[in-house]
Structure 1
Amino acid sequence: MEVLGIFLALGLLIFMAYRGYPVILFAPVFALLAAVMSGLPLLPTYTEVFMPTMVNYIKLYFPIFLLGAVFGKMMEASGAARSIAKGLIDTFGQNQAILAVVLTCAILTYGGVSLFVVAFAVYPFAAALFRESDIPKRLIPATIALGAFTFTMVALPGSPQIQNIIPTAYFGTTSFAAPVIGTIGGIIIFAVGLWWLNRRRKQMIAKGEGYGPHTRNEPKVVEDEKLPAFWLSLVPLGLVLAGNALFTYVVLPDWYPQSLLEQYDGLNLDQVLGIWSLILALVLGILFTVYLRWLYCRHNPDSNEDSNRSDLNLPAILATGTAGALLAIMNTASEVGFGNVIATMPGFETVAAFLLGMNVNPLLSEALSINILAGITGSASGGMSIALDTMGAQYLSWATNVGINPELLHRIASMSAGGMDTLPHNGAVITLLAICGLTHRESYLDILMITIISTLTVPLMIGLAWVTGWV
């Protein structure tokens, strides 16, 4: 009954999320259903298990969600995101349409723009380029997913995405952890994913399939829009990346005297360094995008603050970004609370004991745990948080005992979270398909293949670490 309760709760949550119901509401409902079926008391489980975990997640990561959402909206409102997309697409042209879209998404996400904002910003240009090149439209979601949901999100060192920040709190690492493994893994995902997409394009064209007679969400690109210069649009992304490195390695380690930090009980600089650094780096990026927005409005006088364009009005931009951040973090935190309730049940203890007792190295056990939980919850950050909340300390101790650098734990955790998280009930997948005006039936196969490529890269990196002596 205990195990049945776990699978029933998970299945119901996946079904409701797939149907578009709010996770914030149904995660605690199904968590408590599983608790009752396992013989746990209803109200104490809610107030003493679910809520504390949810609130602690918000405490740790809300600034990242908030500043990341505002930064993304400012990049969009200033025209910088469209400028980068248009510049790369113009550079590569029709023959390399898929490569141009992937690189555009990669640059934006690696620079700190939310993947949801990237999808909105890049899709109009991707659709126009695919239509002009007569490439099947149903490849657009997988193309955007490769650039935004994979190697720049979890593999490349220094990525400011939340999936690369979460492990810093558990392993005392930074966002630049295991740079060699991360870079090699990112290159493999990029190269194999690009090969798959081009192979599919050739197969479809050989069968006579072109862009297709699509009518849903077909975008119109404004031809006379005056965008910021391409190089200028890259500056805020560079500020986030460079600022993150500068604050992580130069400024913050010695910024506060130890005597001051000791006044805050439980504060460990190693656990918050990555979060603090990214907060300051995002602030730098936001300040520069405010300047870019001013330039955009100046050169597009018909699109100023007096034209009722809410997407250009600064208070409206900040309000929209804040609202998006609240929804995103509450959804994820609710899933984390759900997972923590599941983790307190006897049935889950059996699963955790099996994963920790595997006769393998801790990297493989960690990869399996996070992939499974990310797939179940349909969230990379949610699944990873659940796994590390329940087993992070054991993995760190295990790795230390066998001589494995915690940086490898960090990188494998991030890359594993970006594997099977994109199952059909994943919120980002559903949103991406809606933006593109396509369905799971039309486009999900190629998204799944990109997911499988990302997942299979993780054991390759573990094997590489083992052979080269990093493990």
Structure 2
Amino acid sequence: MDILIILFSLSFLIFVAYKGYSVILFAPIAALMAVFLTSPSLVMPFFSGVFMERMVDFIKLYFAVFLLGAIFGKVIAISGFAKSITAFTIKIFGKRNAILAIVVVCAVLTYGGVSLFVVAFAVYPFGAELFRAADIPKRMLPATIALGAFTFTMDAFPGSPQIQNIIPTSFFQTDSWAAPWLGLFGGLFIFLAGIIYLHWRKRKAIENGEGYGNDHINEPVDEIHETLPKPIIAFLPLIIVGVLNKALTDLIPKYYGEQFEFSLFGFNGIDNLEISKLTAIWAVQISLVLGILSVVIFAFSQIRRNFIAEINTAINGALLATLNTASEYGFGAVIAALPGFQSVSELISKTFNNVLVNEAVTITILSGITGSASGGMSIALATMHETYLSEALKFGIPNEVLHRVASMASGGMDTLPHNGAIITLLVVTGLTHKQSYGDIFVMTGIKTAGVFFIILLYTVFGIV
């Protein structure tokens, strides 16, 4: 019965999310519904003592990352830098390599710190024009963008400033560059498998005489031939974010030490800070601030035209993204405290004795259920990270490997049909789940396989 209560609560949340209702409202409703069915008298204590506590914990740690990431993505877009990078990359690869060009430009933007949602908006006009010129079916464009933006640069490649690569740092005392070789090999596996699949699909479409297609909606207007910033200037903010992220990851612990004590500076009554849990977060935050400033310096005339309205839009988007994920985090904390979850955890542990496989399966399942990589991973790590750490210690598994497995597993089954990024991508491209989700799901399967590929690499060769 306890397990059925959890399944009912999860199914309810999936249903309302798929229907488009806000999880900010329905995550607490779904969580407290499960508490009510378990013990009605515990509803209010669980709301105040578990749901709200965990929700606030998440916001405290990650809100600035969401906010700065959204602002950085917005200034990159309105400055014309994103268009310049896209146009330059497409020019280099040409229409014969249209799929590879789109994947590469999406990868460059996301690895440089631009929000996944911003990438979809920025790349789509160029992608549609390139697919039309190459006579590639438009229905394949969402999967192509998804491969470049939602997979290997989001959570596999070391140093990625995306939130999915930052969240594990506070649980495992690692940094965003954790397990660099595993991340690199895992990312290349996903990239190559995805490219091979998409080119196979392209070849089959050509053999069947299928072209770009007609009567599409949301076709981009012919505005992409405007004068764009020089590519060398456009790439600079991305380089700044990447280089500073790595440099600050090394410098922050050396400067502050293991702990920061406010009392040493005359500020009493404030808890000490454990720097190892904050290093990666601070490094990304400072890097994004300096990246934003660099865009403003080099493109002030373009940015100032509609700066207030555009930045307000970015802030609203960041608030919504943060609260969505934080609500899912609070939901997960409540579910994890219920008896049914303990039974599910024990079942997974008995089925998968290997701690890395256990971690991957748990996070993959929860990310799929919530339709959110960051939400599913946060739920799993908030409740299970101590178990993973103790089990890893027994077998001599470095925390860095736990980090990389968690990060890559979160980007597995998260892109099910109810995922917000997938819904946004389809809306932007003017396509439907029926037209394009089949190819997107293959990308989902490939990136899910990627995490088990790196577990195999570590187990057989000890690569970190």
TM-score computed with the length of structure 2 as normaliser? 0.96
Determine which of 326, 331, 334 is the counterpart of 2:324. 331
- Contact in 2 for aligned 1:109/1:153 (Cα 8 Å): yes
- Contact in 2 for aligned 1:125/1:221 (Cα 8 Å): no
- Alpha-carbon deviation of 1:5? 1.6
Map 1:231-250 onto structure 2 (within 5 A).
231-249=232-250
- Unmatched 5+ stretches in structure 2: 264-269
- Alpha-carbon deviation of 1:54? 0.6
- Contact in 2 for aligned 1:159/1:175 (Cα 8 Å): yes
Moved more, 25-34 or 135-144: 25-34
Partner of 2:137: 136
Partner of 1:148: 149
- Contact in 2 for aligned 1:119/1:144 (Cα 8 Å): yes
Moved more, 370-379 or 30-39: 30-39
Map 1:17-416 onto structure 2 (within 5 A).
17-40=17-40, 41-249=42-250, 251-256=251-256, 260-261=260-261, 263=263, 264-294=270-300, 296=302, 305=305, 313-358=306-351, 360-416=353-409
- Contact in 2 for aligned 1:80/1:292 (Cα 8 Å): no
For the structure 1 residues 258 and 148, does the alpha-carbon distance in structure 2 shift closer, same or farther, using more than 3 Å as the test? Answer: closer
Distance 1:2 1:277 in 2: 42
Moved more, 236-245 or 459-468: 459-468
State the one-letter code of the partner of 1:281: S
**Regions of 4+ moved over 4 Å:** 257-260
**Does 2:10 match 1:10?**
yes
Secondary structure, in 3 states, of the residue corresponding to 1:91? helix
- Alpha-carbon deviation of 1:359? 5.4
Secondary structure, in 3 states, of the residue corresponding to 1:167? helix
State the one-letter code of the partner of 2:144: T
- Contact in 2 for aligned 1:371/1:417 (Cα 8 Å): yes
Distance 1:285 1:420 in 2: 31
State the one-letter code of the partner of 2:366: L
Distance 1:442 1:417 in 2: 26
Secondary structure, in 3 states, of the residue corresponding to 1:12? helix
Moved more, 205-214 or 321-330: 205-214
Partner of 1:440: 433
CA RMSD of aligned residues (A): 1.5
Distance 1:194 1:260 in 2: 46
- Alpha-carbon deviation of 1:380? 0.2
- Contact in 2 for aligned 1:171/1:409 (Cα 8 Å): yes
Moved more, 227-236 or 156-165: 227-236
Secondary structure, in 3 states, of the residue corresponding to 1:175? coil
- Contact in 2 for aligned 1:105/1:148 (Cα 8 Å): yes
TM-score computed with the length of structure 1 as normaliser? 0.94
Secondary structure, in 3 states, of the residue corresponding to 2:299? helix
Distance 1:276 1:214 in 2: 48
- Alpha-carbon deviation of 1:256? 2.8
Q: Could you report, residue by residue, the CA deviation over 1:33-64 in whole angstroms, capped at 9, with x for unpaired residues? A: 11111225221121111111111100000000
For the structure 1 residues 203 and 2, does the alpha-carbon distance in structure 2 shift closer, same or farther, using more than 3 Å as the test? Answer: same
Partner of 1:300: none
- Alpha-carbon deviation of 1:316? 1.7
Distance 1:169 1:464 in 2: 25
- Alpha-carbon deviation of 1:467? 1.0
- Alpha-carbon deviation of 1:259? 7.5
Distance 2:262 2:180 in 1: 31
Determine which of 449, 453, 461 is the counterpart of 2:454. 461
- Contact in 2 for aligned 1:419/1:454 (Cα 8 Å): yes
- Alpha-carbon deviation of 1:257? 5.8
For the structure 1 residues 446 and 258, does the alpha-carbon distance in structure 2 shift closer, same or farther, using more than 3 Å as the test? Answer: closer
For the structure 1 residues 257 and 183, does the alpha-carbon distance in structure 2 shift closer, same or farther, using more than 3 Å as the test? Answer: closer
Partner of 2:445: 452
- Alpha-carbon deviation of 1:328? 0.4
Distance 1:50 1:71 in 2: 30
Secondary structure, in 3 states, of the residue corresponding to 2:278? helix
For the structure 1 residues 359 and 202, does the alpha-carbon distance in structure 2 shift closer, same or farther, using more than 3 Å as the test? Answer: closer
State the one-letter code of the partner of 1:466: T
- Contact in 1 for aligned 2:259/2:275 (Cα 8 Å): no
Number of aligned residues: 457
Q: Could you report, residue by residue, the CA deviation over 1:292-348 in whole angstroms, capped at 9, with x for unpaired residues? A: 332546xxxxxx72xxxxxxx122222111111000000111111111111111010
State the one-letter code of the partner of 1:273: T
Distance 1:114 1:423 in 2: 19
Partner of 1:301: none
Distance 1:208 1:369 in 2: 43
- Alpha-carbon deviation of 1:291? 2.1
For the structure 1 residues 315 and 99, does the alpha-carbon distance in structure 2 shift closer, same or farther, using more than 3 Å as the test? Answer: same
- Alpha-carbon deviation of 1:132? 1.1
